[in-house]
Amino acid sequence: MFSDAIMTKDESIQKLIQAVDEADSADGLLNAVKALAAVRSPAAIPSLIQVLRYNNPGAAVAAVDGLILLGEPAVQAILDQLDSYNYGARAWAVRALAGIGDPRGIDLLISAAETDFALSVRRAAARGLGNLQWVGLSSELVRDDQERTYNTLSKVCQDPEWVVRYAGIVGLQGLGSAVPADRPAWFSQLLAQLQQMAQADAELVVRARAVLATQTLTA
């Protein structure tokens, strides 16, 4: 009985994967990806990553959502398959890693936040750096990685695009909320930078977001 149930489940996932492979229209692909993502099975990971390579934003969004739902088990596969990626796929992978928040994605998120030419990728990476889940890691490693994350977000807050600076502040708030109670040396610099932006950023909405981050971190 039990093995029958497993078999049926595997078969149904294989069918969903096949539907993604064989989709012959943009809508067909979108629906197939949504259906595959909905079962939240690790067996779907390679197919979902494959979809990031197609030039189909709707399907890519659905695949990213599916990978984020799967979380930690998807991270290594995303990183392993990254080198052969086209640019579009890399940008979607950044989105997925930003949503999952696994610290194994830190190097990719740092380089995307600092150097990607597309502001949408820089802003997603900045948000992702503030969303990294540090719990359960050795505190020495965490200390270095958090400081690297801080240094990157601090640079991101000087980006020429308002929305990237906004995302940098969201990232700083996330990072600031995650640091241990014995705060690292850079924490006061982080608060000073937020206060400076609240006072002097060229964009009103960026100043407002810096106020909110300061209030949240000092509450």
The footprint of other proteins (CB under 8 A) covers 57, 60, 88, 91-92, 118-121, 123-124, 126-127, 162-163, 166-167, 170, 195, 198-199, 204-205, 207-212, 215
Question: Looking at beta carbons only, is 32 or 91 nearer to other proteins?
Answer: 91
How far is residue 160's CA from residue 2's CA, in Å, rounded to a whole number? Answer: 58
Residue 130 Cβ vs other proteins, minimum distance, rounded to whole Å = 9
Is residue 41 within 8 Å of residue 59, measured between CB atoms? no
CA angle 142, 147, 153 (to 5 degrees): 125
CA distance 133 to 176: 12
What tokens appear for 18 in the block? 């096949």
Nearer CB in complex with other proteins: 22/27: 27
CA–CA dist 45, 202 (Å, integer): 42
Residue closer to other proteins by CB (options 17, 197) is 197
Question: What is the closest distance, in whole angstroms, from the C-beta atom of residue 8 to other proteins in the complex?
Answer: 35
Instruction: Identify which of residues 17 and 94 has a Cβ nearer to other proteins in the complex.
Output: 94
